[in-house]
């Protein structure tokens, strides 16, 4: 078991290095991922922000958590795309002929997605600071936000793995991300739910994005974090477990 585990870690490290080199050679992937969230920040803050009542705080402070989730949702589309290209380009068949742990090929894509998306998130936060975002939270607060975003990224990345393995075309591999990008708009990410019609309000209040953005928003504002953090973590862990299980099942069928 020790040898198998060590073999898995070594293979995953090597294959992750391969994927990261592809990202470093094409940094436009990270930049492109950040473009849409930054454009939305500019639009909402400088065009719509003055008409949206979110209380006494700055609107950029209110909406940044939702923008960060959109950044991640945009980035995982590239994970599905890269996985699809590897699968249909014969790379996985070559890996099967080599003495490597089979699941390491998937984990390499997942870890690459995590690194690339967190880099995009840092870019978006940097631009938000230039636009006026401020927080008094300390190191522990930032670590908590990083942990939530990491868990959220891992959960959605395994959803992207399912799409990359199951898609019939390259466009289909990345198109699944569009509903995920749209989901924050039907939440409290940009406006309070009180202004929404009753059915929309119910959905907004009970979908995962609202709990996640509320938790991150409270951490940034140094407000007491209530039950939303447990709801957010439950959603992320639940999606992660289900997506991982389904992805591994699909992968085994693909390579069998």
Which residues 6+ apart lie within 8 Å of 127 measured at CB? 34, 38, 41
Instruction: Supply the pLDDT for residue 96.
Output: 61
Which pLDDT value is given to residue 1? 41
Structural domains of the chain, count: 1
What is the reported pTM? 0.87
Q: Could you give the count of Cα atoms lying within 13 Å of 167 in the half-sphere of its Cβ?
A: 26
Q: How far apart are CA 67 and CA 61, in angstroms?
A: 11
Closest CA to 103 of 176, 173, 18, 16: 16
CB proximity list for 77: less than 8 A, separation 6 or greater:
160, 174, 176, 177
- HEC letters along the chain: CHHHHHHHHHHHHHHHHHHHHHHHHCCHHHHHHHHHHHHHHHHHHHHHHHHCCCCCCCHHHHHHHHHHHHHHHHHHHHHHHHHHHHHHCCHHHHHHCCCCCCCHHHHHHHHHHHHHHHHHHHHHHHHHHHCCCCCCCCHHHHHHHHHHHHHHHHHHHHHHHHHHHHCCCHHHHHHCHHHHHHHHHHCCCCCCHHHCCHHHHHHHHHCHHHHHHHHHHHHHHCCCCCCHHHHHHHHHHHHHHHHHHHHHHHHHHHHC
Per-residue pLDDT of the chain (256 residues; tens, 9 = 90+): 444 666 667 777 777 777 777 777 766 666 777 788 888 888 888 887 667 766 667 889 999 999 999 999 888 888 888 888 777 766 665 666 565 666 777 888 888 888 888 888 999 999 999 999 999 888 999 999 999 999 999 999 999 888 888 888 877 777 777 888 888 999 988 888 888 899 999 999 999 999 999 999 999 988 888 888 999 999 999 999 999 999 988 888 877 6
- Provide the domain limits for residue 107: 2-255
């Amino acid at each position: 078991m020790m040898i198998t585990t060590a073999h898995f870690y070594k293979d995953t490290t090597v294959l992750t290095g391969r994927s990261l080199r592809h990202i470093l050679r094409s940094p436009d992937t990270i930049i492109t991922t950040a473009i849409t969230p930054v454009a939305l920040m500019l639009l909402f803050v400088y065009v719509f922000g003055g008409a949206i009542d979110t209380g006494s705080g700055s609107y950029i402070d209110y909406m940044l958590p939702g923008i960060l989730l959109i950044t991640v949702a945009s980035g995982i589309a590239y994970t599905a795309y890269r996985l699809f290209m590897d699968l249909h380009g014969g790379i996985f068949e070559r890996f099967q002929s080599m003495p490597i742990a089979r699941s390491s090929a998937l984990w390499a894509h997942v870890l690459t997605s995590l690194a690339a998306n967190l880099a995009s998130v840092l870019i978006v936060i940097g631009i938000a600071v230039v636009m006026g975002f401020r927080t008094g939270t300390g190191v522990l607060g930032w670590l908590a936000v990083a942990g939530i975003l990491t868990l959220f990224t891992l959960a959605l990345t395994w959803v992207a793995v399912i799409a990359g393995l199951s898609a019939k075309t390259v466009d289909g591999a990345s198109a699944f991300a569009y509903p995920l990008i749209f989901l924050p708009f039907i939440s409290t990410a940009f406006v309070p739910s009180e202004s929404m019609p009753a059915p929309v309000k119910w959905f907004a209040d009970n979908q995962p994005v609202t709990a996640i953005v509320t938790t991150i928003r409270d951490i940034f504002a140094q407000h007491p974090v209530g039950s939303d953090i447990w709801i957010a973590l439950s959603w992320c862990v639940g999606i992660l477990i289900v997506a991982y299980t389904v992805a591994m099942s699909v992968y085994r069928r693909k390579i069998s």
